Amino acid sequence: MTAPTIGVLALQGDVREHLAALESSGAHGITVRRPAELAQIDGLIIPGGESTTMSNLLGVFDLLDPLRARLAEGMPAYGSCAGMILLASEILDTKPDARHLDCLDITVRRNAFGRQVDSFETDLDVIDIDGGPVRAVFIRAPWVERVGDRVEVLATVPHGPAAGRVVAVRQNSVLATSFHPEVTGDDRVHRLFVDMVRRS
């Protein structure tokens, strides 16, 4: 089976870690900073970072409109942390001029778990991921406050003050997590996305 080519938006975030996870998941990973690179890929990962800065950089690099067009055509995408925010249809606690990609029917709250010092790890049961819980790292992470009818909830926080908060979702060929699977060495979330790209 031919390895799909999956891009990692290389404006901010753990680009190298996502590329390594893609390679171990049976995909060919490339960095994406230009429209020409966007045209070469079968799917895209939008990593963490600062979502308003990333939305501005999409404009600076002339990627916003081409990316919206590819997503509208059905290109699979996976967003982690800030990537989830950019993929959402509604964002709470953001700047008025922040732009987003509007391809997940969800409402997310930025920095919902608190500041950098409130970062934490926990184990999550994630739908369609076998082999036991996924270790999830939350760093200034969002959570999902509303999910649309066509959105599938894949994971919620199991305990603590944020118990029940939605932190992983899927809608058609778009996947998003509040947490950072790329930093744990566990590539199962990336394998799930690679399978989604293959099926699309």
49 is in an annotated binding site: yes
7 is in an annotated binding site: no
Q: What is the C-alpha to C-alpha distance for residues 181 and 16, in angstroms, rounded to an integer?
A: 13
16 is in an annotated binding site: no
The residues assigned a catalytic role are 81, 180, 182
Q: Which of 115, 63, 54, 112 is nearest to 86 (CA)?
A: 54
Neighbours of 16 (CB within 10 A): 14
Answer for the pair 193, 95: CB distance below 8 angstroms, yes or no.
no
Adjacent-strand bridge partners of 90: 107
Q: What is the H or E stretch that residue 68 is in?
A: helix 64-72
Sign of the Cα torsion 88, 64, 177, 72 reads positive
Neighbours of 132 (CB within 10 A): 10
Task: Classify strands 120-124 and 134-138 as parallel, antiparallel or unpaired.
Answer: antiparallel
139 is in an annotated binding site: yes
Amino acid identity of residue 7, one-letter, is: G
73 is in an annotated binding site: no
50 is in an annotated binding site: yes
Binding-site members are 49-51, 110, 139-140
What residue numbers does the annotated binding site for L-glutamine cover? 49-51, 110, 139-140
